[in-house]
Amino acid sequence: MARFIVRRTLSAIALIIAVSIVVFGIFEIIPSYNPARAIAGRAASQTTVNEVARKFGFNRSLPVQYATTMKLIFTGQVIDYQYDLNVVDQFRQRFGATLSLVIPAGILWLLASIVLGSISALRVGRVIDRALMIFAIVGVSIPIFLLAAVLLYLLAFKTNVFPNTGYVGISDPIQWAYHLVLPWFCIAVLSVGFYSRVLRSNLLDMVNQDFVRTARAKGLPPRQVFTRHVLRNSLMPIITMFGLDFATLLGGAALVTEAVFNIPGVGQYEAQAIGNLDVPPILVGAMFTGFFVVLFGAFADIMYALLDPRIRLTG
Amino acid sequence: MAAERLLEVEELKVSFVTEDGIVYAVDGVSFTLDRGEVVAIVGESGSGKSVTVMTLMGLTRGPNSRFEGSARLRDRDLITASEAELRRIRGKEIAMIFQDPISSLSPVHRIGDQIVEQIRAHEDISKAAAFDRAVELMERVGIPRARDRARAFPHEFSGGMRQRAMIAMALSLSPSVLIADEPTTALDVTIQAQILEEVKQLRQDSESGVIFVTHDLGVVADIADRVIVMYAGRVVEQGTLDEIFYDPQHPYTWGLLGSVTRMDRDPPRRLPAIPGQPPSLVHPPQGCHFRPRCPHEFEHCAEVPPLEARVPEAPDHLDRCWLEVADKRARREVEGRIGLGTGSVVA
Amino acid sequence: MALDPLIMPGSATREAEVIPAEAEFNAGYTPAIGPWKLALRRLRRNKVALTFLVLFVLIVVVCLLAPVYASDVAHIGPNVGNITGTVNVGGKVKDIVTPQGLPIGPTWTNQYFFGADQEGRDVAVRLLYGGRTSLEIGAGATLIIIVLGTLSGLLAGYFRGWVDAILRPLMELIWSFPPVILGVAVGTALALGGIGPIKGNSLIIPILIIGVIYVPYLGKPIRGEVLRLREQDFVDAARAQGMGPWRIMVSEILPNAASTIIVFVPMMLAYAILLEAYLSFLGAGVQPPNASWGSLISDGIQLIDTTPHLSLIPGAMLVLTVLSINIVGDGVRDALDPRAQVRIKT
């Protein structure tokens, strides 16, 4: 088991390096003209552009460029050119708000999926199962920003059930939660439908498995058969999937949700930068998201190994 | 001294509603099981043998299943029992061993825990006490270092060990009826022999009745007291081991026996297989189900032969064939051994 | 007990399709029917999928006819603004954009059917043109995904070795990156400078980006299929017949992977259209003067409290389109393999 963890961590590190190379490549190799100009921003003067070129090492060889860029990022010397702020500082300050958004949303999403998926597997073919199916398919057809807009319009503007965007720090828990309910709901709702369908499908497959038949033949009470055998075995793929999707959440859904709901998190910063075609925050954002994905992937794999004894030994 | 009658199945019919029509999986099966005896149910895939025994456990119930007839375990009808009653009976009075032990055991729970689970579902004892009992049981079925191995997972066991563990689990509450559904099919011949020894042993020790489902006549010859031969959802012949092997009355049985090599005879030039395929259970043939494949069929076979005793000296030897007993005895001799033959009576 | 009747073999799959594993039976009396015909028959029975297929086709046709609508019905182009003008609605004359800057809502007549935006442009016309853009990008990207995805999966799965050693990690890397961030990163980089001879605001850029991002979503499963198929006997038989690797891939392996590919087409189309919407919403997708549903929503969202129709109408079109594709896609998947488990990542 320890060996497995070590190996997985090592491959995660390798992946992180790969991610950094790819992101570097996107920004500094692909664009067909001077990447310094891209980083400096559209409105930059030639002097600024030259300065950037020197700072990032664009007139040196590729490996040196890469090393320099990485150093700049990690020592927090990358400045965005729209507002002249230190990108890494901004990320650090805003990370808390983003966590407030994604973590409870993720928990909500996972729990709701398990509950709804179980219910619809137990009530196959009935109304609630069909309703969930519709819910799932509609859920993956709506972009989050649209749902956010609609909810805001209906629940915050036209009526006053929820506050009209904005964010309150966690020091005031009630207001904090109150302001975040709609965004949490948006994020969770769109994926819950799909996840519960996957769980439902796993559960239904599981129910036909031989060992479930054995469990029933042993005379175990149905609830026990379901939770100890069926659910337990069905959850594992869900958890791995969730690990990866949660990381993806940060890179996409969180972005637009923060933008629409005006939550001062990392996503909002990135969204603004995109709108202004301001490269440095996007560069750093992509890099960090990539790292996060790798980490979460490794974490999910390790979790899976912990839960499934068959994997532990073969490692 | 008459042995206690444990199980009495009468005209059991099981059918399933499917997209392609109604599947008549079991079409009127009757048999009994007494304490201390081993009854083997023989047949090919699709004969209904597995569905029959699963139905005894209530494992075939569902929105698309239809049942007729009765299966009385002592004084209770398993077919009409409520789910709650059935749950109390399952594992405790009637237990089952399945074919493929690797898929029949939960991969994420330890073997010992799975046995404990069964015990504690029916008895109110502590986990520790149940675990001790589990270890005892595992020792009893011949698993070495049982206390250590009880903490292992199914995939860490070999096939034979897994099946022994399943047997231990099935025996944990000393059930009166033990059903073994092709327990040796997925195992090597050598392991198979060991498992069969176990079954014979426990028949002796615990005096349960055993229903042993298999398609392997060699196994039947080894352990059965009585044999039930099933084909396409019906019992086509049943009797004692000797009656079936030495005086088989149904052509299908002849076919089965004919396709087995025997050590006491010269090997035939070619192992005869029964030509044709088992019939669809959605649109079964009129009359005798075996008719389309039977070289001895005649007009009367259009009418379903009732399961009756036709051999005068053997009132419990039942079969479903219209032929006269003397005719049968003549027709089944093929090249000096019992076989299906080609229809014409050997002169 | 509430849970009792429901955890049983048989209740677990769709109602009329249950056969417990134990009741094997020989369906020898049913006439044999090829898998494709069978699939088609199942699809035809699926009324819901067919309805939405029709809806989708309607949407596509209407969007493609955008220029016709603009010239013959609305008499105005997508980028022509008219802030000071008026329009005749059911006898009354109304300002297209009020002096306070509030554009008119849906008129339900042939001019400004869905209303106007802040510049006085006809929303319906922009909706159709935007739809054309969204659909074109979606279709183009899907084409790239199908071609490159199949190719990469085939090559990696069949040749393995160093080909796989390069393709597989590449696919894994792109696949695990959140599509929006990746799209944004590349989109921003390319929007500024274009790539090679392609200008920064060409539609080819989003098509390329979205296409490449989703290639591994098809490539990985195809690779898996090919790995499995190449071990089958019929491949050995083909090799024994002297067929070269390319012929084997095309004539033996590809047809067997075909059903997987077919199932992926609507799925990838839906993904592509959605991703384009996300990117354009953020500003990293289509660049002005091009518009797509995503960018229309983005424009309208500033004024959602006063003029909701600006963002909600393109939003509704977008959802209807993607929903139709998803429902048809589900129907296709069910028709081809009622028990398929297809992994989708949002």
Three-state DSSP class for A79? Answer: strand
Has residue A315 been placed in a domain?
no
Rounded CA separation B38/B222 (Å):
11
The residue of chain A with its CA nearest to that of C172 is: A15
Q: Are residues A22 and A108 in the same domain?
A: no
Best to test chain A binding among B61, B106, B163, B172 (most A CBs inside 10 Å): B106
Q: Using a CB-CB distance cutoff of 8 angstroms, which residues of chain C are in contact with residue A150?
A: 312, 315
Task: Count the neighbouring beta carbons within 10 Å of the beta carbon of residue A168.
Answer: 16
| DSSP string of B90-112, one letter each residue | BTTTEEEE-S-HHHHS-TTS-HH
Q: Are residues A36 and A161 in the same domain?
A: no
Q: Of C247, C268, C249, which is closest to residue C257 (Cα–Cα)?
A: C249
Q: So what's the pLDDT on residue A31?
A: 64
B64 touches chain C (CB under 8 A): yes
Q: Are residues A72 and A100 in the same domain?
A: no
Has residue A139 been placed in a domain?
yes
A vs B, Cβ pairs < 8 A, gives: 76
pLDDT in tens, chain C (346 residues): 233 333 333 333 333 333 343 333 333 334 556 777 777 877 888 888 899 999 999 999 999 998 888 888 778 778 877 777 777 777 777 777 777 777 878 878 778 888 888 888 888 888 999 999 999 999 999 999 999 999 999 999 888 888 888 898 888 888 888 898 888 888 887 776 666 667 667 788 899 999 999 999 999 999 988 888 888 888 888 888 888 888 888 887 888 888 889 989 999 999 999 999 999 998 888 887 788 999 999 988 888 878 888 889 999 999 999 999 999 998 888 888 755 433 222 2
DSSP class of residue B279 equals P
Helix H segments across chain A?
A: 2-28, 35-40, 46-56, 62-74, 87-122, 127-139, 144-151, 173-207, 210-217, 222-224, 232-251, 253-261, 266-275, 279-307, 309-314
Residue A73 and residue A81 in contact, taking contact as beta carbons nearer than 8 Å: no
Q: Of C138, A279, A151, C18, which is closest to residue B18 (Cα–Cα)?
A: C18
Summarised one tens digit per residue, pLDDT across range B217-250 is: 888 988 899 999 999 999 999 999 999 999 899 9
Residue bearing tokens 């070289």: B295
Q: So what's the pLDDT on residue C1?
A: 28
The residue of chain B with its CA nearest to that of A230 is: B106
| DSSP string of B121-141, one letter each residue | HHS---HHHHHHHHHHHHHHT
Q: Are residues A103 and A39 in the same domain?
A: no
Instruction: Check C1 against B84: CB less than 8 A apart.
Output: yes
Has residue A157 been placed in a domain?
yes
Instruction: Check C25 against B59: CB less than 8 A apart.
Output: no
Q: Of C61, B106, B320, C181, which is closest to residue A22 (Cα–Cα)?
A: C181
The domain boundary, picked from A87, A107, A138, lies at: A87
Flag the least confident range among A72-81, B26-35, B105-114, B270-279: A72-81
Residue A160 and residue A77 in contact, taking contact as beta carbons nearer than 8 Å: no
pTM value > 0.80? no
DSSP class of residue A154 equals I
The domain boundary, picked from A52, A87, A122, lies at: A87
Q: Are residues A125 and A249 in the same domain?
A: yes
Q: CB within 8 A of C170, min separation 6: which ones?
A: C216
What mean pLDDT is predicted for residues B90-97?
A: 89
Say what the alpha-carbon torsion angle C239, C244, C245, C249 is, to the nearest 10 degrees. Answer: -80
pLDDT in tens, chain A (315 residues): 777 788 888 888 888 888 888 888 877 776 655 667 667 766 667 777 777 777 777 777 777 777 877 777 777 777 666 666 778 888 888 888 888 888 889 899 989 999 998 888 888 878 888 888 888 889 889 999 999 888 888 887 777 777 777 777 777 778 888 888 888 888 888 888 888 888 888 888 888 888 888 888 888 888 888 888 888 888 878 887 888 788 888 777 888 888 888 888 888 888 888 887 777 888 888 888 888 888 888 888 888 777 777 766 554
Residue B262 and residue B272 in contact, taking contact as beta carbons nearer than 8 Å: no
Whether the pLDDT of residue B132 is over 90: the answer is: yes
Residues of A near B (Cβ–Cβ under 8 Å) read 209-211, 213-222, 224, 228-229, 232-233, 307-310, 313
Nearest CB neighbour to B282, from listed C8, C15, C25: C25
Residue B164 and residue B143 in contact, taking contact as beta carbons nearer than 8 Å: yes
Instruction: Check C28 against B277: CB less than 8 A apart.
Output: yes
Chains in contact with C, where contact means 3 or more Cβ–Cβ distances below 8 Å, are A, B
Say what the alpha-carbon torsion angle B276, B277, B281, B284 is, to the nearest 10 degrees. Answer: 0
Has residue A212 been placed in a domain?
yes
Crossing angle for the helix pair C35-45 and C47-64, nearest 10 degrees? Answer: 80
Summarised one tens digit per residue, pLDDT across range B190-225 is: 888 888 888 888 777 767 889 999 988 888 988 899
Summarised one tens digit per residue, pLDDT across range B37-93 is: 899 999 888 788 989 999 999 888 888 899 999 999 988 899 998 888 888 888 889
Q: Backbone dihedral region of B107: left (phi > 0), alpha (psi from -120 to 50 degrees) or beta? A: alpha
Q: How many folded domains does chain A comprise?
A: 2
pLDDT band at B343 (very low <50, low <70, confident <90, very high): low
Residue B20 and residue C27 in contact, taking contact as beta carbons nearer than 8 Å: yes
The residue of chain C with its CA nearest to that of A296 is: C176
Summarised one tens digit per residue, pLDDT across range B251-308 is: 899 888 887 777 776 766 666 777 788 888 888 888 888 888 888 888 888 888 888 8
Q: How would you classify the pairing of strands B94-97 and B76-77?
A: unpaired
CA separation, residue C19 to residues B15, C14, C22 (Å): 10, 10, 8
Instruction: Check C19 against B59: CB less than 8 A apart.
Output: no
Task: Count the neighbouring beta carbons within 10 Å of the beta carbon of residue B303.
Answer: 11
Q: Are residues A27 and A106 in the same domain?
A: no
Q: Are residues A187 and A55 in the same domain?
A: no
Has residue A227 been placed in a domain?
yes
Helix H segments across B123-188?
A: 127-140, 146-149, 159-171
Instruction: Check B16 against C19: CB less than 8 A apart.
Output: yes
Q: So what's the pLDDT on residue C258?
A: 86
Q: So what's the pLDDT on residue B281?
A: 83
Domain extent for A111: 93-308
Q: So what's the pLDDT on residue C341?
A: 34
Best to test chain B binding among C7, C13, C15, C24 (most B CBs inside 10 Å): C24
Q: Are residues A170 and A288 in the same domain?
A: yes
Q: Using a CB-CB distance cutoff of 8 angstroms, which residues of chain A are in contact with residue B155?
A: 309-310
Helix H segments across chain C?
A: 35-45, 47-64, 66-68, 123-159, 161-176, 179-193, 204-229, 233-240, 245-247, 254-282, 293-301, 309-336
The residue of chain A with its CA nearest to that of B155 is: A310
- Phi then psi for B177, rounded to 5 degrees? -115, 130
Q: What are the structure tokens assigned to C2, written together?
A: 């509430």
Has residue A275 been placed in a domain?
yes
Interior angle at CA B318, CA B317 and CA B322, nearest 5:
125
Instruction: Check C10 against B62: CB less than 8 A apart.
Output: yes
Q: Backbone dihedral region of A163: left (phi > 0), alpha (psi from -120 to 50 degrees) or beta? A: beta
The domain boundary, picked from A38, A72, A87, lies at: A87
Q: CB within 8 A of C157, min separation 6: which ones?
A: C164, C222, C223, C224, C225, C226, C227, C229, C230
Q: So what's the pLDDT on residue C99?
A: 75
Q: Using a CB-CB distance cutoff of 8 angstroms, which residues of chain B are in contact with residue C26?
A: 46, 277-281
Q: Of B119, B211, B220, B98, which is closest to residue B171 (Cα–Cα)?
A: B119
Q: So what's the pLDDT on residue C130?
A: 92
Q: Are residues A32 and A169 in the same domain?
A: no
CATH number of the domain within which A156 lies: 1.10.3720.10
Rounded CA separation C57/C69 (Å):
17
Q: Of A268, A290, A226, which is closest to residue A101 (Cα–Cα)?
A: A268
Instruction: Check C346 against A194: CB less than 8 A apart.
Output: yes
Task: Count the neighbouring beta carbons within 10 Å of the beta carbon of residue C257.
Answer: 22
Q: Are residues A281 and A201 in the same domain?
A: yes
Q: What are the structure tokens assigned to C234, written together?
A: 């019929």
Rounded CA separation B171/B134 (Å):
10
Q: CB within 8 A of A80, min separation 6: which ones?
A: A87, A90, A273, A278, A280, A281
Q: So what's the pLDDT on residue C335?
A: 83
Residues C268-277 as b/e (b if ≥16 CB within 10 A, e otherwise) read bbbbbbbbbb
- Show the domains of chain C with their CATH numbers: 83-120 (no CATH), 128-290 (1.10.3720.10)
Q: So what's the pLDDT on residue B238?
A: 93
Nearest CB neighbour to B108, from listed A210, A224, A309: A309
Q: CB within 8 A of A75, min separation 6: which ones?
A: none
Rounded CA separation A102/A98 (Å):
6
Q: So what's the pLDDT on residue A32?
A: 58
B55 touches chain A (CB under 8 A): no
Helix H segments across chain B?
A: 49-57, 83-89, 101-104, 111-122, 127-140, 146-149, 159-171, 189-206, 217-223, 241-246, 251-258, 325-331
- Phi then psi for B33, rounded to 5 degrees? -140, 125
B294 touches chain A (CB under 8 A): no
Q: Are residues A165 and A204 in the same domain?
A: yes
Q: So what's the pLDDT on residue B206?
A: 64
Has residue A314 been placed in a domain?
no
Q: CB within 8 A of C117, min separation 6: which ones?
A: C103, C123, C126, C299, C300, C307, C310
Bridge partners, B179 (sequence order):
B96, B211
Instruction: Check A219 against B156: CB less than 8 A apart.
Output: no
Nearest CB neighbour to C10, from listed B25, B46, B65: B65
Q: Using a CB-CB distance cutoff of 8 angstroms, which residues of chain C are in contact with residue A293?
A: 176-178
Residue A133 and residue A126 in contact, taking contact as beta carbons nearer than 8 Å: no
Rounded CA separation A103/A97 (Å):
10
Enclosing H/E stretch for B211: strand B209-214
Q: Using a CB-CB distance cutoff of 8 angstroms, which residues of chain B are in contact with residue C20?
A: 16, 51, 54, 60, 62
Reported residue count of chain A is: 315
Q: So what's the pLDDT on residue B68?
A: 93
Model ipTM value: 0.84
Residues B248-261 as b/e (b if ≥16 CB within 10 A, e otherwise) read bbbbbbbbbbbeee
Interior angle at CA B91, CA B89 and CA B93, nearest 5:
50
Q: How would you classify the pairing of strands B94-97 and B177-181?
A: parallel
Q: Are residues A21 and A97 in the same domain?
A: no
Has residue A313 been placed in a domain?
no
Rounded CA separation C294/C306 (Å):
19
